[in-house]
Amino acid sequence: MDFRYTPEQADLKARAAAYSRLLMQYEDRSEEAGGPLPADTVRDLTRAAIDAGVYAINMPAEWGGAGLSLLDQVIVEEEFGKVTNCLWDIPWRPANVLAYGTRAQREKYLLPVVRGEKFDAFAVTEPGAGSDPSSGTSTATRTDGGWLLNGEKWFVTCGDIADFLLVQADAGPERAATLFFVDKQAPGVEMTRVPRFMHSAVNGHPEFTFTDVFVSDEDVLGGVGNGYELTKEWFTDERLMIAARTTGAAERALELARDWAVERRQFGSRIADFQLVQGMLADCAVDIAVNRAYTHQVAWEADQPGTDRKALHAKASTAKLAASEAAGRVVDRCVQIFGGRGYDRSYPVERLYRELRVDRIWEGTSEIQRLIVANELIKRGTRALALPHS
């Protein structure tokens, strides 16, 4: 087994790192603004991402995307994770399931996103349906030429800047879970609230209501009744990317804490010379190294032909669970090493501390990830742990 990056992957990592350093120049400005950046700044940063080949990295090159494998995407997202204020949202990552659209849907929805002209957002969560999406109450009722959509969605990440939404609703009397393309400006769509969260993210997570919103038959994604399977596939990729970004965030926190520990002097000595601080630094390094290796492994497995998709779903949950919780431990230690300055919002470790907390919640809580892994073990044994073989 060869774990070395290819020359192409090394170049990709360098380009992603350089672009991330560009984003870091806007962290303080974003924090001071409470998250958003001016539209012209976002446009400039979007163009820079496209020019660097790190925009729409999960879409085929023939459609204008970067055409990266999942392993290559993990390499990029790990670098993006080092940036605070969720500025990694600017180098847009379209929902992977958009690739399943018809040719007409691709022309109308996906290609403008890949070109940086439009933005999408995924709307699944509801006030009474978070970890259990099957308990959602949004409905789509048959009407001439399409459907009437009614319901409410919460925590629609980037819904504030999105041009259209992918809305999961139960279609027809059979209540068949289905994904619908919904224009955000369509009659009956209302963005009711943009909650203020712990982190100061460049984009928001608003709430929407849908009242008799007409959706044509042409705007059903993947066919009626395929909503859960498509959403599950979206979750698998997103959980891997969360694992990558949280690993990158943890590495940046450790780099900052290590430098601080070497420079900071107390009691006539560097605090890096104190064994209790050394222990925290070492524990951080272990958490990062182990989770980077596993996240890379799972992404590599996902790229191999014939991969067991059910086992992969559980492995992505394992990666997300382990990396997000490890990153929380890492940044907590790093705040401690910085002392009072670690509690100051002008320091990146403070922002990372706030921002990493949500990674144990969104795209499936840690508890849900544990259930997914446990169910895979109960149904199929320890195959969820096995390495692929020829």
Residue 390: per-residue pLDDT: 66
How many domains are there within the chain?
A: 3
133 pLDDT band (50/70/90 cuts)?
Answer: confident
**Would 141 be classed as within a structural domain?**
yes
Give every CB contact of residue 268 below 8 A, 6+ residues apart in sequence: none
Asked if residue 59 lies in contact with residue 94, where contact means CB atoms within 8 angstroms, the answer is yes
Structure tokens at 265: 């002097």
Same domain, 380 and 242: yes
Worst-scoring range by mean pLDDT, 29-33, 338-342, 383-387?
383-387
Task: Please give the full DSSP string across 30-59, using - where no structure is assigned.
Answer: HHHTTS---HHHHHHHHHHHHHHT-SSTTS
**Would 105 be classed as within a structural domain?**
no
Worst-scoring range by mean pLDDT, 132-141, 172-181, 271-280?
132-141
Residue 387: per-residue pLDDT: 83
Calpha distance 38→69 (Å, rounded): 32
Number of H helices, E strands in the chain: 11, 10
174: containing domain: 120-224
Same domain, 254 and 161: no
Task: Give the type of residue at 79.
Answer: E
Q: What is the DSSP letter of 347?
A: S
**Would 103 be classed as within a structural domain?**
no
Same domain, 145 and 284: no
Asked if residue 211 lies in contact with residue 141, where contact means CB atoms within 8 angstroms, the answer is no
Same domain, 213 and 234: no
Calpha distance 16→13 (Å, rounded): 5
CATH number at residue 11: 1.10.540.10
The tens digit of pLDDT for each residue in 262-311 reads 999 999 999 999 999 999 999 999 999 999 999 999 999 999 998 888 89
Residue 114: per-residue pLDDT: 98
Asked if residue 179 lies in contact with residue 121, where contact means CB atoms within 8 angstroms, the answer is no
Calpha distance 238→244 (Å, rounded): 10
Model pTM score = 0.96
Half-sphere exposure of 92 (CA within 13 A, CB side): 27
Same domain, 138 and 271: no
Closest CA to 242 of 206, 291, 182, 310: 291
**Would 168 be classed as within a structural domain?**
yes
Q: Is the pLDDT of residue 130 over 90?
A: no
131 pLDDT band (50/70/90 cuts)?
Answer: confident
Q: Is the pLDDT of residue 389 over 80?
A: no
Give every CB contact of residue 264 below 8 A, 6+ residues apart in sequence: 270, 271, 272
**Cα–Cα–Cα angle for 265, 253, 319, rounded to 5 degrees:** 145
The tens digit of pLDDT for each residue in 188-210 reads 999 999 999 999 999 999 999 99
Structure tokens at 111: 């290609």
224 pLDDT band (50/70/90 cuts)?
Answer: very high
Handedness of CA 226, 228, 231, 235 (dihedral sign): negative
Same domain, 334 and 235: yes
Q: Which residue has the tokens 């939404």?
A: 165
Same domain, 180 and 211: yes
Q: What is the DSSP letter of 386?
A: P
Handedness of CA 223, 225, 231, 232 (dihedral sign): negative
Calpha distance 315→369 (Å, rounded): 10
CATH number at residue 345: 1.20.140.10
Calpha distance 252→249 (Å, rounded): 5
Q: Is the pLDDT of residue 388 over 90?
A: no
Same domain, 65 and 140: no
Same domain, 290 and 349: yes
Residue 121: per-residue pLDDT: 98
Closest CA to 242 of 234, 231, 252, 253: 234
Residue 366: per-residue pLDDT: 98
Calpha distance 26→90 (Å, rounded): 12
Residue 53: per-residue pLDDT: 97
